[in-house]
Amino acid sequence: MRTHNAWATSMEGSGSGPTPVLRNFNPWFYQAGGSLIAEDGKSGYDSEAGIKAITWATHLFQTYCSEADRASKGDDLRDRFGQGLFAYDNNNELGNINLYTTDFPDLKFGIANTTGDAKQWTHGGVGCFAMWTPSTKRDATWKWIDFLTRDGNLEYNQKFGYVPPRTSVRDEFSKSMTPIYAVALEQQQYAGVEKHPRLWDMWDVISPELEAAFAGSKSAEDAIHAAAERINSDILSS
């Protein structure tokens, strides 16, 4: 029998970055069929999908993660996986392949299929949809294009292996990609982000509630109810 000392997975227990603990909740929420806004115009978090997602994420965090994750902001997530300290790095394949192969050349890893419930879904950021529709604001559009294509951004994207979703560009890139990268790129079709003008405000509200649920200081259901109640009163009613 083979044994190892790695934790099953790792999850940030406290907020940091553009999608802090949301990275540990959103995939399960959308896979369960969730949506930011329910049909009645209120928060979609306080729903069967929301309760199912936060309950499952809390179970994963409390059962399969290191005690150190409770205070983790995820800053050392890539290094810890590269050192073999945990076995499953969910939702990070495309962004980490180049780093792992460069910084940890002896690391043996594969690409997992995107998990699914009511549907398959994995986290994708605004970077996946840099320009959603043709814009009528010409000057602002060109400023945005200039920003996206500056040397610093291009260097960042190339280092982390990000590729544009536009099929014509992606297909050209695919001619020289490695087999493992091709597998990861195939899973990109399930990446997404739900667009809403108050998205970040809602994320700011639910993040501390997720932290409380993960830490065990609040039940999963109480946390999701509290987040939805505040979103309804402070964001969706304003």
The mean per-residue pLDDT over the stretch 73-95 comes to 87
3-state secondary structure of 72: coil
pLDDT confidence band for 15 (50 / 70 / 90): low
pTM (predicted TM-score): 0.84
pLDDT tens digits for 120-131? Answer: 998 875 554 555
Which CA distances in Å does 184 have to 40, 53, 177?
37, 24, 11
CATH class entry, domain 7-236? alpha beta
User: For position 102, what pLDDT does the model report?
Assistant: 87
Higher pLDDT, 153 or 73: 73
Look over the chain and give the mean of its residue pLDDT values, rounded to a whole number. 85
223, burial (CB in 10 Å: exposed 0-12, middle 13-18, buried 19+)? buried
For residues 104 and 82, the answer to whether their CB atoms sit within 8 Å is: yes
- The mean pLDDT of 24-45, rounded to a whole number, is 96
DSSP 40: T
Q: Return the pLDDT at 226.
A: 98
Whether 156 shows a pLDDT value over 90: the answer reads: no
**Per-residue confidence at 169, pLDDT binned at 50, 70, 90?**
low
pLDDT of amino acid 86:
94
